[in-house]
């Protein structure tokens, strides 16, 4: 019972924290890759899920990946790259829904599409979580405004959003642990404390504590000896 409770408690903790993505410690080179096996990726890359078919785990993964993607874009822009070369560098830096979405945008741009139009379509494919990032990139590409400070502010805002999301999930942990408490701990407490006492009480009520016969069943003499009143009193 205790082992099963530990397993369910571990599952509840992993359910909260097990679907996050770690920081991409290894960042790819920021040089644009013009011929980075685009044909091979187009053959083997799985299609990006839409908002209707996107699972819940992918939704969490997208939320956790956005700050890292914004940081890598800001790093590329601060190194002197333009918008499309920065997108190309981030698209080839790893895996994940956000990275794969940027890679798809880069592939369509290389096939003749407009980068602004492809970025505008990205939130429809992945979800509204990417709308602030795509809007920042589109405004910078359209107006020529500096992209670095905007990405820095966006990265800070996304980190605060992810932190609030994690705190909300941590507050849900007692609720998740309530089901194992009710279904396992309380029945185990009843089985170990209440049931033995009830069984002992039932057995005590069925069998007498002393096996000796009752007093009314013992034979009594016909006459009882009387005390001798003629005996001299004892001296003081």
Least confident of 32-36, 196-200, 220-224: 32-36
Of 204 and 41, the structure prediction assigns the larger pLDDT to 204
- 93: closest CA among 113, 117, 68, 129? 68
- 12: closest CA among 188, 182, 174? 174
Work out the mean pLDDT of the chain and round it to a whole number: 73
Q: Flag whether pLDDT at 95 surpasses 50.
A: yes
Report pLDDT for 164: 87
- 31: closest CA among 92, 74, 111? 92
Report pLDDT for 115: 86
Segment 113-169, tens digit of pLDDT: 888 888 888 888 888 888 888 888 888 888 887 888 888 888 888 888 888 888 888
Segment 180-195, tens digit of pLDDT: 778 888 888 888 888 8
- Identify which of 18-22, 170-174, 230-234 has the greatest average pLDDT: 170-174
Contact 137, 83 (CB under 8 A): yes
| CATH numbers and ranges of domains, the chain | 24-172 (1.20.81.30)
pTM of the model: 0.53
């Amino acid at each position: 019972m205790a082992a099963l409770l530990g397993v369910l408690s571990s599952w509840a903790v992993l359910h909260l924290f097990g679907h996050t993505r770690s920081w991409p410690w290894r960042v790819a080179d920021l040089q644009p890759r013009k011929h980075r096996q685009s044909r091979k990726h187009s053959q083997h890359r799985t299609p990006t899920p839409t908002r209707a078919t996107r699972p819940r785990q992918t939704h969490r993964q997208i939320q956790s990946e956005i700050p890292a993607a914004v940081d890598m874009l800001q790093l590329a822009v601060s190194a002197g790259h333009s918008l499309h070369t920065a997108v190309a560098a981030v698209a080839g830096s790893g895996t994940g829904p956000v990275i794969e979405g940027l890679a798809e945008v880069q592939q369509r741009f290389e096939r003749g599409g407009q980068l602004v139009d492809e970025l505008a379509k990205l939130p429809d494919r992945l979800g509204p979580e990417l709308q602030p990032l795509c809007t920042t990139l589109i405004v910078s590409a359209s107006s020529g405004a500096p992209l670095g400070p905007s990405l820095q502010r966006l990265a800070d805002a996304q980190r605060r959003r992810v932190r609030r999301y994690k705190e909300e999930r941590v507050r849900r942990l007692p609720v998740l642990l309530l089901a194992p408490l009710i279904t396992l701990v309380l029945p185990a407490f009843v089985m170990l404390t209440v049931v033995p006492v009830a069984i002992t009480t039932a057995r005590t009520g069925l069998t007498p504590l002393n096996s000796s016969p009752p007093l009314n069943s013992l034979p009594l003499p016909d006459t009882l000896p009387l005390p001798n009143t003629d005996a001299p009193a004892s001296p003081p």
